[in-house]
Amino acid sequence: MGSSSANHVALVAFLVCLLPHCGSAKQHSGYDVVSVAESGNRLSAGLKLVGGTTKFGPDVKRLSLSASMETDSRLHVRITDADRARWEVPRDVIPRPALQDDLVEPTARHAALPSSHTLSSASSDLNFTIHTAPFRFTVTRRSTGDVLFDTSATLVFKDRYLEVTSALPAGRSSLYGLGEHTKRTFRLRHNDSFTLWNEDLGRSDQLDLNLYGSHPFYMDVRSPGGAAHGVLLLNSNGMDIHYGGSSITYKVIGGVIDFYFFAGPSPLAVVDQYTQFIGRPAPMPYWSFGYHQCRYGYKNVEALEDVVAGYAKAKIPLEAMWTDIDYMDGYQDFTLDPVNYPAKRLRPFVDRLHSNGQKYVVILDPEIKRTAALHEKDGVFLKWNGSTLVGEVWPGEVYFPDFMSPSGAEYWERKISEFRRTIPVDGLWCDMNEPANFRDMPTLNALDDPPYRINNAGVHRDINNHSVPVSATHYNGVSEYDAHNLFGFLEARATHDGLLRDTKRRPFVLSRSTFVGSGRYAAHWTGDNDARWDEMRHSINTILSFGLFGIPMIGSDICGFTGNSSQELCSRWIQLGAFYPFMRGHSEKKTIRREFYLWESTARSARKSFGTRYRLLPYFYTLMYEAHKTGAPMVRPLFFSYPHDANTYGVDRQFLFGPGLLVSPVMEPGATTVDAYFPAGRWFSLYDYSLAVATRTGKRVTLPALADAANVHVAGGSILPTQLPALTTSRARQTEFRLLVALAENGTAKGELFLDDGESPEMGGARSKWTLVKFSCDKESRGGITMRSHVVHNTYAPSRKLAISKVVFMGLQSPAAPKVYVNGVQLKAAGIVYRRNGVLTVSGLSLVVGEKFDINVVMSH
């Protein structure tokens, strides 16, 4: 490890010497290293203040640094006060190794420190180097020497202000992440700033402003070559991050400097390593991939019944009905409006949904009407100035549950269980959980007025604005100042646990507010968007970003939440939304109604696009399994599959759904064409299976703007499992399977199919029944191809009689219809249809999913 040659503690620990030639007298503002020690895969150092300023408060005089190779692909660098414990993200939020005792033991007084010291490992591609006078550190890629992170010598560490800057190679570095914000582009632009402070913004124009979640993580893709790495600052305090192109600066109002570096080098490897650390995405139930309908303003149960009937009559898939706060009695959680949503009307409605294979989801706001909570025990709610905090939200005066408290979480879970005895909801929607608060609170102490004002809401707004005061306290005296950005995470966790405990099934939780690791418990949507073309375009950027953040189940309110959508915008948004992982229509009560059956144009788009989605549900659900096991996002940018192609780095009007589908939606009004980029390879139309594009280097292509669907192309080299469409996912799951085999130029292809019951809490684990089949296609020496199935695991399929009835091969090169053999037996010609465009359809099959098979295609000559 580095310069250490033994496993025992190899001390390189010294005090800064007093001799003139040692360099400690060099005048600068920041810190010098006064001692360094290394043991195995860990290095620690002591830092001493040199110079300093009084701006934003006095500097911390002594700092402690630790750097450790926690895995071969993860480096941890932490800097904190050497003399006083400070707030850090709790270990029950992000489980991680406990800190070891400080290694620094100064034993060689008055000896000169070397100018630098490096921690490295033969099994890791990351090197950490500490530079001593002045202090700074660098992280490099050992295999190439590329400098990934290079801090300046101007570290600032005060009680409530931390600042650190790293240099970046502006011409070679493409950054993605740092959310949650609505951005014009997915790739971060130079000279852009990002404020991280969870905020209920309350306005439709949200561009470039801090929104509902805080994710201080970015991925850096370097050119040439496309090597990627990730950087996380694990800190829950408010912060501003400035990305200047050639540098990135963090300005944080508390906590510690706690960096994690993820080596990659592929983008998928970075997300795998990142979610291995923060927690893998929760498995989502199969039904959650269907279409969800909501509106703020469904006045009563009859309105819900009319909507369900409207979708059924129009033959548009509808999986779940949702209800906003309209169902509540006086907007109180866990209650029903006795006039418009009485249990005697709502329960039969929900029962009918269930009998039809449909679901019901309601909203919850994390505020409890004060008069309904007066008899709860101490410790359930947030405190302020020695008493329970009283705020104001929709029900009037409210208390805020303290989800950090075991009593608060238990209270929430109990209320969920009690409510489900009346209305057996299938999922819960956590809104307003930044948390929002309509009451202006007076300043109580210094926490309410930090010395550095982050750029909240783009105007340096008071961090107490429209939220609970940061001087409020949680369990064990934790201040809201430190834990504010965790509130939504903690509520989602309690909601997830409550549903799991009550239903014994896989929970579905949708949360507006998120933090690092929220994907372990919840899905997310992009919040209160507006019915505008630019908002539709920007949704792709947010969805791609949350894929990086480990929250792959994400969508945007189709056709917009606020504002009135035109038919054209709504139709195009439906076509895009069919490829959101989470697909929901939701609108505000003052807007025009926009259920998709109301306009014939939107009904056509919904039938066509949703039909395509429901055919692809086996592929989508297999990607959910991959996301749960490896963190791989379902919707991903093109560079995830083509990192060597720098032309993909700026593409954000197209995206990949998994590795096999390229989606190129219409994003402009009146468009008759779509400008699309196709990376190197063969690309086949999903709709007629024809070879649309073949390129060895990648090229831009002008596509026709289809009337009722987005352009979707299958990547050569992919095998996609499909089923037949239906109006619910439960019915679609009962239909026959088919395989789409898109051959690469060399005649190869691969794919997977994951199956389970879609609702068991564990996905692909030891306690659940599941099947995983891998498909591969290879070219034979005589010019034919053979597709094989390999059953990796099979405890689900045999009891379901699941069968593959049809296989479509795309990209064959045969002058006449080839011969087809299944498990060595030649098929009759009646089951074979070959078109001169290279498409071979093999029908009439009955291949059990859970059994090995092979299909051999022999070309005619």
Number of neighbours of residue 848 by Cβ within 10 angstroms: 17
Cis status of the peptide bond prior to 281, with omega within 30 of 0: no
Number of neighbours of residue 698 by Cβ within 10 angstroms: 18
Decide if 859 contacts 840 (C-beta within 8 A).
no
Sort 440 into a burial class: Cβ within 10 Å, 0-12 / 13-18 / 19+. exposed
Helix (H/G/I), strand (E/B), else coil: 558: strand
What one-letter code names the amino acid at 460?
H
Residue 579, phi then psi, degrees to nearest 5 = -115, 15
Dihedral, CA of residue 839, residue 845, residue 849 and residue 851, to nearest 10: -110
Identified catalytic residue from 159, 337, 434, 480: 434
Q: Which residue from 84, 90, 100, 103 is spatially nearest to 35, judged by alpha carbons? A: 103
Q: How would you classify the pairing of strands 213-222 and 514-515?
A: parallel
Decide if 740 contacts 708 (C-beta within 8 A).
no
Question: Which are the contacts of 82, defined by CB distance < 8 A and separation ≥ 6?
Answer: 46, 47, 62, 63, 64
**Residue 786: beta bridge partners?**
778, 856
Long-range contact set of residues 792-795: C-beta below 8 Å, sequence gap at least 24: 793/764, 794/850, 795/769, 795/770, 795/771
Give me the residue label for tokens 């029950």.
92
* CA angle (556, 561, 564) in 5-degree steps: 125
Number of neighbours of residue 305 by Cβ within 10 angstroms: 16
* CA angle (412, 413, 417) in 5-degree steps: 115
Cα(374)–Cα(185) distance, integer angstroms: 48
- Residue-by-residue DSSP string for 640-682: GT-TT-GGGTT--SSEEETTTEEEE---STT-SEEEEEE-SEE
Tokens representing 800 are 């379901």
Residue 724, phi then psi, degrees to nearest 5 = -85, 150
Cα(678)–Cα(85) distance, integer angstroms: 53
Cα(787)–Cα(789) distance, integer angstroms: 7
Tokens representing 361 are 């989801």
Cα(166)–Cα(138) distance, integer angstroms: 9
Decide if 312 contacts 291 (C-beta within 8 A).
no
Cite the beta strand spans of 225-288 per DSSP E.
Answer: 227-233, 239-243, 247-252, 257-262
Q: Which residue from 106, 133, 112 is spatially nearest to 36, judged by alpha carbons? A: 106
Cα(481)–Cα(390) distance, integer angstroms: 17
Cα(104)–Cα(65) distance, integer angstroms: 10
Identified catalytic residue from 413, 502, 528, 752: 528
Judge whether 528 counts as a catalytic residue: yes
Identified catalytic residue from 431, 480, 497, 645: 431
Tokens representing 132 are 């001593």
Helix (H/G/I), strand (E/B), else coil: 132: coil
Q: For the chain, how big is the Rg over CA atoms in Å?
A: 28
Q: Which residue from 627, 698, 634, 639 is spatially nearest to 228, judged by alpha carbons? A: 639
Cα(473)–Cα(486) distance, integer angstroms: 13
Catalytic residue positions? Answer: 431, 434, 528
